[in-house]
């Protein structure tokens, strides 16, 4: 596989992971407000992110995008766990 094709696949995978993070955030908001009955499975998304982050990415732009996505997930995870904590105390 050519490097350009590999980078394109990595770029698409990173975009898909970001889309999943954004969807998870919306689902958590719905869960906290009672619009969803089951808590979203954020642990699976975390495992997928960890597995993807173990890949060797040689393109610096893609590597920095992945770092941004990982940071975004950690930030959102703190928000989600905070929401759950507030909901359980209510």
64 contact partners, CB below 8 Å, separation of at least 6: none
For residue 57, give both structure tokens.
């990415």
CA dist 63 to 22, 58, 89, Å?
A: 20, 7, 39
Is the per-residue pLDDT at 1 higher than 80?
A: no
Q: Is 89's pLDDT higher than 90?
A: no
Structural domain includes residue 11: no
Task: Tell me if 76 is assigned to some domain.
Answer: yes
Model confidence at 90: pLDDT above 70: no
Each residue of 19-41: pLDDT tens digit? 999 999 999 999 999 999 999 99
Residue 3 has pLDDT above 90, yes or no: no
* pLDDT per position as a tens digit, 48-74: 999 999 998 999 999 999 999 999 999
Residue 12 lies in a domain: no
Domain presence at residue 10: no
Per-position DSSP letters for 13-39, written without gaps between them: HHHHHHHHHHHHHHHHHHHHTTS-SS-
pTM listed for this prediction = 0.91
Q: Which domain holds residue 34?
A: 19-89
């Amino acid at each position: 596989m050519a490097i350009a094709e590999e980078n394109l696949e990595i770029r698409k995978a990173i975009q898909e992971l970001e889309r999943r993070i954004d969807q998870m955030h919306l689902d958590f908001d719905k869960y906290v407000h009672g619009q969803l009955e089951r808590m979203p499975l954020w642990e699976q998304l975390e495992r997928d992110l960890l597995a993807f982050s173990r890949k060797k990415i040689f393109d610096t732009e893609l590597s920095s995008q992945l770092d941004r996505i990982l940071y975004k997930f950690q930030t959102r995870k703190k928000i989600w766990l905070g929401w759950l904590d507030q909901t359980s105390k209510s």
